């Protein structure tokens, strides 16, 4: 499905900035707001940082983008939504890598106690050191 159709189905106006955000995030790798802003400006010219923030919020709210917030890192965005995948984060360089579901069906992990909640999603972040940083450390 095209981005224009996704925006319309979500009840959002189709704008050049929103289309550029979707394309930038899709082609990026768990981009933060500043990286999205740079990518959008390269595609459509001047767009304010506030407009990018507002659009990212709307796209996330409508389920078109996923927002992840690793501790100590700015929020990151991706277009892979609805599959309850998880992430690996490098403690040294901050690189984020997708990890498919840990075990079983969504929500992938069952809590020891659900405290009466009806659980429908798990958000797991694995922390470690990526292969590139490990190879640099070995030098």
Task: Give 11-23 as a DSSP string.
Answer: T----HHHHHHHH
pLDDT at 106 (0 to 100): 64
Which residue would you say has higher pLDDT here, 50 or 122? Answer: 50
Per-residue pLDDT of 96-110, as tens digits, reads: 999 987 766 666 677
How much is the mean pLDDT over the chain? 91
Q: What number of other Cβ atoms are within 10 A of residue 85's Cβ?
A: 18
Query: If pLDDT is split at 50, 70 and 90, which confidence band does 26 have?
Result: very high
Which residue would you say has higher pLDDT here, 42 or 121? Answer: 42
């Amino acid at each position: 499905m095209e981005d224009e159709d996704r925006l319309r189905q979500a009840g959002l106006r189709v704008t050049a900035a929103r289309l550029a955000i979707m394309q930038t995030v899709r082609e990026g790798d768990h981009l933060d707001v500043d990286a999205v802003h740079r990518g959008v400006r390269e595609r459509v010219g001047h767009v304010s940082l506030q407009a990018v923030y507002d659009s990212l919020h709307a796209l996330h709210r409508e389920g078109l983008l996923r927002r992840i917030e690793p501790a100590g890192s700015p929020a990151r965005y991706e277009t892979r939504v609805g599959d309850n995948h998880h992430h690996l984060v490098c403690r040294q360089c901050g690189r984020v890598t997708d990890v498919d579901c840990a075990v079983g069906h969504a929500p992938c992990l069952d809590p020891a106690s659900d405290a009466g909640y009806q659980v429908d999603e798990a958000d797991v972040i694995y922390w470690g050191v990526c292969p590139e940083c490990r190879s640099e450390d070995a030098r």
